[in-house]
């Protein structure tokens, strides 16, 4: 999810914290079939650094998609996920990479549709009550409107890559509640934000399951490594550039998403 317009004054309110750890490497195995990585900034690796020439899409060499490709040497790898993407962007600009011979598809999408970038802005700059209300608004949208949008994307994936294994990676909890942070957002705000992650997981997992796709729960993948946890934080707090705030860092992609993806994605030998 891309944070589009958080005011610079945010830095005075929230302590900036970023963790930049080197991703684990893996020895390449026998070449797998074609792999296509779709989605938003959580899929592109925004927040994990090393974006090469990907411009505003911020496709990171440390992203879970690139790490899986490095380890499994697919016969073709189309990395088209892009920071800020919503479901309509996937349909307009990304699904064209899918072909009948695609064997693995990964996707993280839906957070921007529900407006969680704006949620984080409002919660950082507003009161507890306004944060709770904005989260409730986003949750209502996710329950009522997001299923149809996800169905449109998933239908297109199924039609274009009918033989592919499709892995849908969900969003993590941002915060460890009652954790080690002494500054920053209130516990009320942190709980409201985590509640929105729960609603997203509920909606996305249900729609993925309806299509026979594999759902990876980001909450489980990042458990013990949220902001305010006692372990290494696998998510950035407020950082600069501002659009990398509240995104997985390199350690989150390697230890969280990539590890979880590797446990379920079964490369077929080309």
Catalytic residue among 173, 225, 247, 253: 247
Q: Which residues lie across from 102 on neighbouring strands? A: 34
Q: Quick check: is 63 catalytic? A: no
Q: How far is CA 50 from CA 59, 60, 74, in A?
A: 8, 5, 21
Q: Quick check: is 247 catalytic? A: yes
Catalytic residue among 41, 196, 237, 245: 41
Rounded Cα–Cα distance for residues 121 and 82 (Å): 20
The catalytic site residues sit at: 41, 247
């Amino acid at each position: 999810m891309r944070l589009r317009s958080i005011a610079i004054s945010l830095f005075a309110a929230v302590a900036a914290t970023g963790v930049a750890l080197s991703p684990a490497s893996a020895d390449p195995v026998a070449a797998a079939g074609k792999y296509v990585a779709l989605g938003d900034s959580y899929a592109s690796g925004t927040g994990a650094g090393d974006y090469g020439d990907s411009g505003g899409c911020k496709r990171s060499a440390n992203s879970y998609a690139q790490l899986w490709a490095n380890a499994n040497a697919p016969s073709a790898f189309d990395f088209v996920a892009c920071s800020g993407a919503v479901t309509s962007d996937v349909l307009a600009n990304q699904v064209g990479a899918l072909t009948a011979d695609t064997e693995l598809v990964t996707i993280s999408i839906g957070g921007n549709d529900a407006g969680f970038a704006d949620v984080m802005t409002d919660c950082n700059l507003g009161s507890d009550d306004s944060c709770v209300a904005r989260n409730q608004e986003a949750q209502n949208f996710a329950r009522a409107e997001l299923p149809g949008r996800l169905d449109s994307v998933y239908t297109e994936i199924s039609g274009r890559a009918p033989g592919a294994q499709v892995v849908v990676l969900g969003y993590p909890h941002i915060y460890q509640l009652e954790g080690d942070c002494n500054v920053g957002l209130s516990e009320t705000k942190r709980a409201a934000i985590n509640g929105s992650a729960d609603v997203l997981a509920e909606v996305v997992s249900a729609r993925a399951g309806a299509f026979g796709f594999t759902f990876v729960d980001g909450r489980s993948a990042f458990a013990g490594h949220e902001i305010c946890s006692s372990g290494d934080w696998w998510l950035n707090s407020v950082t600069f550039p501002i659009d990398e705030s509240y995104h997985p860092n390199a350690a989150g992609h390697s230890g969280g998403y990539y590890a979880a993806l590797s446990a379920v994605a079964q490369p077929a030998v080309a």
